[in-house]
Structure formats: structure tokens, C-alpha cells
Amino acid sequence: MATSGLQHVAAMYAGVVAPPLIVGAAVGLTATELTFLTGACLFTAGLATFLQTLGIWKIGARLPFVNGVTFAGVAPMTAIVASTEDKSDALPVIFGAVIVAGLLGFLAAPIFCKAVRFFPPVVTGTVITLIGVSLLPVAFGWAQGPNPAGSDYGSATNLTLAGVTLLLVLLLRRFTRGFVKQIAVLLGLVAGTLVAIPFGVTDFGPVAAADVVGFPTPFHFGAPQFQLAAILSMCVVMVVSMTESTADMLALGEIVDRPADEKTIAAGLRADTLGSALSPVFNGFMCSAFAQNIGLVAMTRIRSRYVVASGGAFLVLMGLCPMAASLIAVVPRPVLGGAGVVLFGSVAASGIQTLVRAGLEKDNNVLIVAVSLAVGIIPITAPGFYHAFPETARIVLDSGISTGCVAAVLLNLVFNHLGRSADAQDVTHPMEAGEEITGATRAPATP
């Protein structure tokens, strides 16, 4: 049980620590603060995994689900950081928005599992693709170095380290199997860090300064603040996260021979949303299911939810050990950038895989994808596009994931639901278990 639980942790570790690294860097946290934020996210991922696997009352799907920080929230959170004048208020604003979005999602869980037909593959595939595309610029920035104002930013040394790390990850994925292949990104980070030592860009100071034992103090970065625009942005992310979790539960239910019915889905969504609402109390972010762990269950055929719960215990222990959490702070930014190309690019590829099943031979669906992607890519390709809008509105508008998701949902309603004629009945269809089973073992959508 212990070794199988550790395997689940290894498969999703890189996905858990990437969001706090991105958001922490945007806020300008010190190495010590970044270590604390990373540890908090590991701790809350463990708690959310307990809630989902073991369950209490009507909360928890009681399936072998691993929960952790969702990638879907990264771009909206960085948009919130960018629009916050005093960066010390950025994390409290994010935490307040996540708490409200989580509580609203908890209340909406029984209703959402009935309304999931409005989120077919044409919508979810578009959103997942936008998540990956929105995160790729972060990887490119990491590859150039930690400080845009530094003299070595974008230097040949930094880009070479990023390229070597990328190459190592690709070689591991190509020439290894099983467990080693599953943790190729994690091994690439370790190997890239070792390669970087002779170049003098690896700093082991955070590990030396970290305590062996520590607890994520509630509201360490300040009491939560509640701003309407930030709350709306995170509510959109919550809808995306709940949609993905529903698809993952349908798939996992089939893999473990326990098909997920409406009651199970509602209980699973309650665990996701309640875990998200509690996470900011301990300085964590929004939580969701990790799809790559579903693939691990299918590959190993170890279906016990208690095995995954043991993985949650390891996550909690790592969160309570700042020295373990500080190890990620040792990894040089160029090395992170090289691994990030694979990590974030696989998210975009996962969205494309979903779109393949979205019926793109139909003109209506092509239009939905085309316009939604265009709207979602605006903040990436033209960052100042919405400069004339009020600052509060820009928190939502500057998040390509939020605007792209809203556009995809509305266009899907207009083209495929409202006033639908008889000859348009086959254009798109509700999300069904049979459709999502093959897609849920794809590359991770919410690592």
C-alpha cells in the first residue's frame, strides 16, 4: 500500500507544485515564502484526497481519486495578481475568491451533475486547450531565467539548461516504461538540477534554512479579501473544474467496475468543492481531480481507494515537512522551464484530444471552437487589448480561460441547444459515460 501510494504521489507531484511556483513568482514571494506556499498546497492536496477517497456523510465519491491544485485556476490567479496594485493583497484576494467559489460549487453540486449536458466535449476540449496554451508563456519565461531585469536573462546558458532538461524528459518518456515513464517529468527536474550545479545557478540555501517540521499556519499571508471580479473569475474556473471532475468520475467508475451514478457524481463534486473552500484556510488553492492518476489506476489495476488515501497521507506529511517542500525551490528556473514545456504542452494536447471527439466535422462545432479559442487567446497575444476597460472587469477579461469558457458555453447553447432543428440533433450531444471513458485516461488536464 505504501509503495503504491507513493507512486500516485510521484505521478502527480510536478502538477501540484507548479501552480504555487507560478503564482508565487508572480506575487514576488521570497524563497522561504515560496517554500511555505508549496508545502501548503501539498498539505491541502492530501486533505482533499482524504475527503474524496474516504468520504464523510454525502461528501466524497469514495473512488481511488487523487486531488490537488487545478491548473485551470493558474491563469485567472495570475491575472488577479497583475491587477492588484499592492502585491501583498494578491494572495488574500485569491483566497477569498476561491473560498466563495468553493462554497457556491458545494451548494450547486446536486444541480450541476444534472446540467453537465451543457458542457459537451466541444466546450471542455476548448477550455482544456486554452489552459495549456495560457500556461506555455510561463514555461518560456522560466526558461530564460528567474529575473527579467537580470543580465543573464535569456542567456545561452539558461536556454541550454532548459533545452537539456526538455531533452532528458523526452528521452525518459521514449526509452523507459511503467513507473519510471510515469515520473519522467519529476526525474527530468532532478537530472536538470544536477546538470545545472556546475553552472552556479543552483541555490541550496532554501533547504538549509527550512525546518524539518512545520505546520501551514491558517491565513499565513493575511485574512481573505472578497472582490467581486476575482470571485466571478474563480467561479468560472470552478465550473471548468467540476466539468472535468465529472468526466473523470465517469471514467474511473468504469475502470474500477463501479459505474458512477448521479449520487456518486454529486458526492464527488461536493468533495472537490468543499476541499477547494477549505484549502485557502491553510494557504492552498482550488483543488480538483488529477486525471493522470486515473491512468495509473488503469495501468496498475490496483483499484483500492485506500491505496490512494495512503498517497494522500504522504502528501500531508510532505506538507508538514518544510524541508521536503523546499526541494522544489532548489530547482533553477531554466530547468523548470524545460520541464514546463512538456507539462503545460501536454495539457493543451489533452484538450486537442478531447476536441477530436467533439464532432468537428459539423460546421457549428467548428465555429464554436474557432471563436472561443480566438477570444481566449486575446490576453496571450495582445496583453493590452482590454486596457480601456475598468480594472475590476480586466480581472476576468485578462484571463483567457475565463473568457474562452464563457464564449464556448454561450456559443454551444446558441448553436446546439436553443431552437435546435430536427436536422441538427446530431451536431453535439450530452456528456455520456461511454464517450468520456476513452478520453479520461488521456494526458492530464488538471495536473
CA 52 vs. chain centroid, Å, equals 17
* Inter-residue contact 445 to 351 (CB < 8 Å): yes
Place of cell 528567474: 146
196, three cell numbers: 545545472
3-state secondary structure at position 225: coil
3-state secondary structure at position 59: strand
Q: Does residue 247 form part of some domain?
A: yes
Residue 294 has pLDDT above 80, yes or no: no
Q: What is the pLDDT of residue 47?
A: 92
Q: Phi and psi at residue 62, in whole multiples of 5°? A: 55, 40
Count the domains in the chain: 1
Q: Does residue 353 form part of some domain?
A: yes
Q: Does residue 438 form part of some domain?
A: no
Place of cell 493558474: 74
CA 213 vs. chain centroid, Å, equals 27
Q: Does residue 445 form part of some domain?
A: no
Confidence of residue 370 (pLDDT cuts 50, 70, 90): very high
Helix (H) or strand (E) holding 69: strand 67-69
258, three cell numbers: 463501479
Q: Which amino acid, one-letter code, is at 138?
A: V
Residue 5 has pLDDT above 90, yes or no: no
**Distance (Å) of CA 239 to CA 116, 321, 350:** 10, 33, 18
pLDDT: is 322 or 428 the higher one? 322
Q: Phi and psi at residue 67, in whole multiples of 5°? A: -110, 150
Confidence of residue 441 (pLDDT cuts 50, 70, 90): very low
Measured torsion, CA atoms of residues 327, 333, 336, 337, in degrees rounded to the nearest 10: 170
What is the mean predicted confidence (pLDDT) over 232-250? 81
Q: Phi and psi at residue 69, in whole multiples of 5°? A: -65, 130
58, three cell numbers: 454525502
Confidence of residue 359 (pLDDT cuts 50, 70, 90): confident
pLDDT: is 398 or 60 the higher one? 60
Q: Does residue 441 form part of some domain?
A: no
410, three cell numbers: 454561450
Q: Does residue 446 form part of some domain?
A: no
Three-state SS string over 365-402 comes to HHHHHHHHHHHHHHHHHCCCCCCCCCHHHHHHHCCHHH
Residue 154 has pLDDT above 90, yes or no: no
Q: Count of CB atoms within 10 A of residue 11's CB? A: 24
Q: Does residue 437 form part of some domain?
A: no
Report pLDDT digits (tens) over 80-100. Answer: 888 888 888 899 999 999 999
Residue 403 has pLDDT above 50, yes or no: yes
CA 219 vs. chain centroid, Å, equals 22
Q: How much of the chain, in percent, has pLDDT values that exceed 70? A: 87
Q: Specify burial of residue 235 (Cβ count, 10 A radius: 0-12, 13-18, 19+).
A: buried
Residue range(s) defining the domain that contains residue 311:
2-430
Residue 300 has pLDDT above 70, yes or no: no
Calpha distance 238→279 (Å, rounded): 14
Compute the radius of gyration of the chain from its Cα atoms.
21
Residue 367 has pLDDT above 80, yes or no: yes
Confidence of residue 411 (pLDDT cuts 50, 70, 90): very high
What is the mean predicted confidence (pLDDT) over 379-383? 85
CA angle, 189 as apex, 184 and 191 as ends, to 5°?
A: 90
Confidence of residue 298 (pLDDT cuts 50, 70, 90): low
* Inter-residue contact 303 to 297 (CB < 8 Å): yes
Q: What is the pLDDT of residue 11?
A: 66
Q: Does residue 443 form part of some domain?
A: no
Dihedral sign, Cα of residue 21, residue 26, residue 32, residue 33? negative
Q: Count of CB atoms within 10 A of residue 362's CB? A: 17
**Distance (Å) of CA 115 to CA 109, 179, 262, 318, 408:** 10, 37, 11, 37, 15
User: What value does the mean pLDDT of the chain take?
Assistant: 81
Task: Choose among 161, 155, 162: nearest CA to 139.
Answer: 162
- Quick check: pTM over 0.75? no
Q: What is the pLDDT of residue 420?
A: 61
What is the mean predicted confidence (pLDDT) over 209-232? 85
Residue 371 has pLDDT above 80, yes or no: yes
What is the mean predicted confidence (pLDDT) over 280-293? 84
Q: What is the pLDDT of residue 424?
A: 47
59, three cell numbers: 461528501
Report pLDDT digits (tens) over 257-272. Answer: 777 778 888 898 999 9
Calpha distance 136→294 (Å, rounded): 24
174-183 own/partner pairs: CB under 8 Å, 24+ apart = 178/299, 179/7, 179/10, 182/7, 182/10, 182/11, 182/292, 182/296, 182/299, 183/10, 183/11, 183/13
Report pLDDT digits (tens) over 12-36. Answer: 776 788 888 889 888 888 878 888 8
Q: What is the pLDDT of residue 440?
A: 41
Q: What is the pLDDT of residue 35?
A: 83
